[in-house]
Chain A
Amino acid sequence: MSALMTFLAIFRGRKLATAGLIWLCIVAFAAIAAPLIAPFDPFEFDPVARLSEPGTPYLFGTDHFGRDSFSRAIYGARMAVMIGLGSVFVALSIGGLIGMLSAYFTRLGHVLMRGVDVLMAFPALLLALVLMTLLERSVTNTIIVIGIVYATTTARILFGMTLKLKGEVFVDAAICSGAGHSSTLFRHILPNLISPLLVQASFIFAFAQLQAAALDFLGLGLPPEVPSWGNMLSEERIYVTRAPWLLIFPGALIILSVFSMNLVGDAMRDSIDPRFKDDIAGV
């Protein structure tokens, strides 16, 4: 409870960031309750009502198969949250582990961090594209690929932060009182990294949305039948002159969500431990 209060205290006096947080809560709610909110089946074709304008009963209009755009957008929120949380999990667990271990065991670090350097020589989307060519188009693969792309930056950042903490007196004290490697790393160092990790997570979440949308657009992301905001844009882009609303709504949803996540991340970054402030790269 008190953790929640500290978190909410960050937003005191920050109107824009609070609005962002509220929007993210709405998206999360839509993601959880998608089948209850969506008025139509997002997969059902209605050939008679193809490309109909926004109004009743189709709030956001319909696409070229006659599927209800609003229902697809609601289910798209579900994909957005899944992609976001999934890539954050992959990036933080792989990248975090590599970064922490590399900083703690210096010799191992020389090897692991050079591997990270190699991956970092690829621009983000290019790395994602290359990895996607090796894998099949699916939700899990998209999450893994985006996660790996951001695992590299996470590893770098955590490497730096763990190195800083390793030199602190409390770590020496822990080692002197007989703490083993895993206990030093995970019970003494890791808890100090939780808040910067959360900030990093919020930025990965935001970037992952843009990457996933770009992959969808290039036809290398989620399978085309999956209702995601990126796929909605990608599929309907040839109808942009006939039915511009089909692109406005999913586009606005992506922008609003990424913007909100960045605002929340910024607010969180301003309130964390000043030692780590320079380590985290946001927007």
Chain B
Amino acid sequence: MWLGNVIQGDLGTSVFFRKPVLSVIGDGAETSILLATMTMFWIVLFGIPIGILSATRHGTWVDQVTSGGAMLFASVPTFWLGLYLILIFSVGLGWFPSSGFPSLSDDGGVANLRYLILPSLTLAAPNAALIIRLVRASMLDVAREDHVRTARAKGLHPAKVAIRHVFRNALIAVAAAFGFTFAALVSEAVVTETVFSLPGIGRLVVQSILRRDYPVIQGVILVIVILYMVINLLVDLAYARLDPRVSLK
């Protein structure tokens, strides 16, 4: 019954909002998508360069500090980090708003993105930490291979070797991890959106669970699981493009 309706685009009606589930989810989609995009931006901005730095300075104090720091950040509960960011940057310094998110179409337009800076940083911290460790590990793996030794023996500049020969190959493993990162992002977004009271899908899940609004819970989970599968499929396809040795057959 339910499945048949789902195929026709009808996820049922929310018990709490008395609106179709699809439109309830749609209301939260803007916030969640913007939050995810900004988070991904931070992850790439911090995760990849720091990972490369850590791998190229392998064994030095730079490496020890960055990989130790990455593991430390992966050990911090998301909501705790969020609370302290609010305390420091919203309450203490007053730089960013502490909670909520008006739509981009409301007053303020693009400037409203500042509401998402602290949440996206909170969300990015543990995931960027994972990417740092992953970039480092896979670059160190690749650095042991013969073609890297050849490149170095040819007299190429070490930075060029690191980027062109090592990082490009390491990217394959990193790309594969983005499916996993998405799952982590969804999990932690549930918590982050609750801390920052963002009107996104993550908070919708928690509130619906507390309200026992089963049609919404069911609908959101279906949407997330489908999204997760699509992303994993895209990752697999990207994998084949990045690495010619992988064949999809």
Contact = CB atoms under 8 A, between A and B. Distances in A.
A272 interface: no
Interface in A111-137: 121-126, 129-130, 132-133
A283 B224 contact: no
Contacts of A255: 72, 75-77, 80
A63 to B, nearest CB: 15
B72 A219 contact: no
A228 B123 CA distance: 24
Interface stretch (A41-49, A70-78, A79-87, A258-266): A258-266
Contacts of A126: 186-187, 190, 205, 221, 224
Contact of B188 (A125, A247, A251): A125
B91 interface: yes
B210 to A, nearest CB: 7
B217 to A, nearest CB: 7
A259 B209 contact: no
Contact of B225 (A122, A233, A259): A122
Nearest to A256: B75
Given A123-B224, A130-B217, A217 B79 contact: yes
Contact of B186 (A123, A217, A241): A123
Interface in A41-67: none
Contact of B228 (A121, A233, A254, A259): A121
Contacts of B184: 123-124
Q: How big is chain A's contact interface, by range?
A: 35 or more
B76 A123 contact: no
A244 B87 contact: yes
Contacts of A146: none
Contacts of B205: 126, 129
B191 A218 contact: yes
B75 A124 contact: no
Contact of A213 (B72, B77, B133, B206): B77
Interface in B103-147: 129-130, 133
Contacts of B210: 219-220
Nearest to A132: B209
Contacts of A22: none
Contacts of B217: 130, 133
Contacts of A214: 77-79, 187, 190-191
B122 to A, nearest CB: 13
A213 to B, nearest CB: 5
B79 A233 contact: yes
A218 B210 CA distance: 9
A213 B68 CA distance: 22
Interface string B204-243: 0110011010000100010011001100000000000000
B83 interface: yes
A241 B90 CA distance: 11
Nearest to A263: B71
Nearest to A214: B191
Given A123-B228, A255-B72, A133 B209 contact: yes
B183 interface: yes
A220 B187 contact: no
B53 interface: no
A240 interface: yes
B138 to A, nearest CB: 11
Given A121-B229, A122-B225, A123-B183, A129 B77 contact: no
A129 B204 CA distance: 13
Given A121-B225, A217-B191, A218-B191, A129 B206 contact: yes
A188 interface: no
A141 B183 CA distance: 23
B221 to A, nearest CB: 7
A206 interface: yes
Nearest to A229: B77
Given A214-B187, A233-B80, 13 more contacts: A123-B224, A126-B190, A130-B217, A213-B80, A214-B191, A218-B190, A237-B83, A251-B77, A259-B72, A262-B75, A266-B71, A283-B71, A283-B133
State the 10 A-B residue pairs at the shortest beta-carbon distance, nearest first: A125-B187, A258-B75, A123-B183, A259-B75, A251-B80, A123-B186, A123-B187, A283-B74, A213-B77, A217-B79
Interface of A: 16, 121-126, 129-130, 132-133, 206, 210, 213-214, 217-220, 230, 233, 237, 240-241, 244, 247, 251, 254-255, 258-259, 262-263, 266, 283
29 contacts: A16-B68, A121-B225, A121-B228, A122-B221, A122-B224, A123-B184, A123-B186, A124-B183, A125-B191, A126-B221, A126-B224, A129-B206, A213-B79, A214-B77, A217-B77, A217-B191, A218-B191, A218-B194, A220-B210, A237-B83, A240-B83, A244-B87, A247-B80, A247-B84, A251-B84, A254-B77, A255-B75, A262-B74, A283-B74
